[in-house]
Amino acid sequence: MTARAPTPAPSLAPAPAPAPTRGRPRAFDRDRVILDAARLFWRRGYSGTSTRALTAALGLSTSSLYAAFGSKAGLFEETVRTYAERYREIYQQAVTEDDFGTVIERILIDSVHEFTQPDSTHPGCLISSAVMTDSTGTLDTSAYVAELHRSNRQLLLTRAERAVQDGDLADGISATALTELVQTLWHGLSVRSNLGATRADLIEAAQLANELIRRHLTDPAQ
């Protein structure tokens, strides 16, 4: 009978440790990180939000945060631009409409939808947040938002002037006054949303305002 070879004893050597990973964790969700960071910045301001508070709230290590955004200031800048630029997009899309009444309607209604996004997908309105009284070395928030409003106003004013030149508005309509009226309504809707007004109520108000403006655009006597 052939003798069987002895079974080798199990190795007691420890298994090799997995190679350490660097940078972002596997489950990194950039959109979610920006949303959660925005909530902190909006509530506490830039200076009042420490890197430690950010990493704790976001579930990131400091090295992961820096790898993804460069710095706390880089994360702050991305949060501001991510949520503020949506309003620029609303104006840019609205002014492409052929009918000027529809331009106003889209600016007001689309902005209300943005103002009243659910908390799960939106950090709230930047305009009235703590961030507006604070700034960083890389992005002066108040100046940035002021530039955004100037840009939006100019887009609307240019479109209103074109409507006047094309004869789409009744005689005597001032493109400047009309633009100021729409901007005033826009800011009022924003403030009301921050005070807890519902989306349904704000849309109803925006629709009524648009209806009244449309009537005046064709007959200033009304």
- CATH code of the domain covering residue 156: 1.10.357.10
CB-based burial, 105-131: b 16+ in 10 Å, e otherwise: bbbbbbbbebbbbeeeebbbbbbebbb
Structure tokens at 123: 């950090």
Structure tokens at 38: 């925005």
Q: Cα–Cα distance between 190 and 105 in angstroms, integer?
A: 15
Sign of CA dihedral 182, 184, 187, 188: negative
> Does residue 33 lie in a domain region?
no
pLDDT in tens, 26-58: 457 899 999 999 999 988 888 889 999 999 999
> Does residue 160 lie in a domain region?
yes
Task: Look up the domain containing 179 and give its range.
Answer: 81-218
Alpha carbon 159 to its chain centroid, in Å, reads 24
- What total number of domains does the chain contain? 1
> Does residue 161 lie in a domain region?
yes
pLDDT at 21: 44
pLDDT in tens, 91-147: 999 999 999 999 999 999 999 999 998 877 888 777 777 787 776 777 788 888 889
| Conformation bin of residue 118: beta by default, left when phi > 0, alpha when psi is -120 to 50 | beta
Q: Cα–Cα distance between 5 and 76 in angstroms, integer?
A: 67
> Does residue 25 lie in a domain region?
no
> Does residue 132 lie in a domain region?
yes
Q: Cα–Cα distance between 51 and 49 in angstroms, integer?
A: 7
Structure tokens at 175: 């493109």
> Does residue 92 lie in a domain region?
yes
Q: Which residue from 130, 105, 125 is spatially nearest to 46, judged by alpha carbons? A: 130
Q: Cα–Cα distance between 154 and 152 in angstroms, integer?
A: 5
> Does residue 49 lie in a domain region?
no
pLDDT in tens, 137-188: 777 888 888 899 999 999 999 999 999 999 999 889 999 999 999 999 999 9
> Does residue 98 lie in a domain region?
yes
Q: Cα–Cα distance between 161 and 177 in angstroms, integer?
A: 11
